[in-house]
Structure 1
């Protein structure tokens, strides 16, 4: 079983980051939305393997777009990694037929899952994030860059 969840930890307002006051989320750029808004604690587990980043303030949209890119590479049977904006840690994805071997630099061990299960978990996570944040921030729901999260 694959579980990807988040809990908002922001706003982390050091140096003006994540300060949404007065910002029209309908027109925030992909870059800003990806790296400066909706900072979160992420949970990412595959069966018994906990691949959750052990730090806070991970931008949830960066993780969504990074996972989308990783899944595109895996569809082409290409090895890929996801990096994080706030450090040099990585999640490593190695395709093995219809399965994927997953490990990370910040935790011990590795695990294997079905590529289709990983994709389905990403879809469910994407829908949960978009639904919750669109309800909380209606202007965000009309931002055209969110349509890019469509795999």
Structure 2
């Protein structure tokens, strides 16, 4: 089973004067909501996580949903033998999370993983469902913490683009 989670950083708080209702895409994706993220295979008891404290968690959730759609563009879908590749690069770092889909499975690995460690592997449909659930749960959590965020049109568009499945 796949578990996707986050923790917000206490070292990098959001600026107190932020108007979350009017925050633009740049601010929402790169300037706010710093913390750490993880993907875990609970069945295998393995995890791929950051420990830097500065990862923009909303951007991670947004990018993860984008990537899941990007690696599903082959018209053959889960029958496609040709691997589909995507990467998530972290702002302010050379580190990347790498995604490789072949048939209905997605391998996830990162630059910071030991070379001899195998990638985490998830079913594509599970990754899609969990990524979207993570995005919606994260937005709900952040909206509880930050007045006006739930009224931001960028957030509305994001939720409409990636509805829960």
TM-score normalised over the length of structure 1: 0.88
The number of residues matched between the two structures is 146
- 1:11 to partner: Cα distance: 5.3
What residue number does 1:35 align with? Answer: 30
Q: Which ranges of structure 1 fall in alignment gaps of 5 or more residues?
A: none
RMSD in angstroms over aligned alpha carbons? 1.6
How far does the alpha carbon of each residue in 1:18-42 deviate from its partner, in whole angstroms, 9 at most, with x for none?
A: 31x1221111111111101011121
What residue number does 1:58 align with? Answer: 55
Q: Which ranges of structure 2 fall in alignment gaps of 5 or more residues?
A: 75-83
What residue number does 1:93 align with? Answer: 99
Segments of 4+ moved more than 3 angstroms? none
Give the number of the structure whose alpha-carbon radius of gyration is greater: 2
The whole-number CA distance in structure 2 between the counterparts of 1:141 and 1:11 is 24
What residue number does 2:113 align with? Answer: 107
- Bigger mean CA deviation after superposition, 45-54 or 117-126: 45-54
What residue number does 1:80 align with? Answer: 86
The counterpart of 2:150, out of the listed 141, 147, 150, is: 141
Whether the 8 Å CA contact 1:103–1:111 is kept in 2: the answer is yes
Whether the 8 Å CA contact 2:35–2:52 is kept in 1: the answer is no
- 1:138 to partner: Cα distance: 2.8
Whether the 8 Å CA contact 1:53–1:106 is kept in 2: the answer is no
TM-score normalised over the length of structure 2: 0.81
How far does the alpha carbon of each residue in 1:81-119 deviate from its partner, in whole angstroms, 9 at most, with x for none?
A: 001112111111111111111111111321221001111
What residue number does 1:69 align with? Answer: 66
What residue number does 1:121 align with? Answer: 130
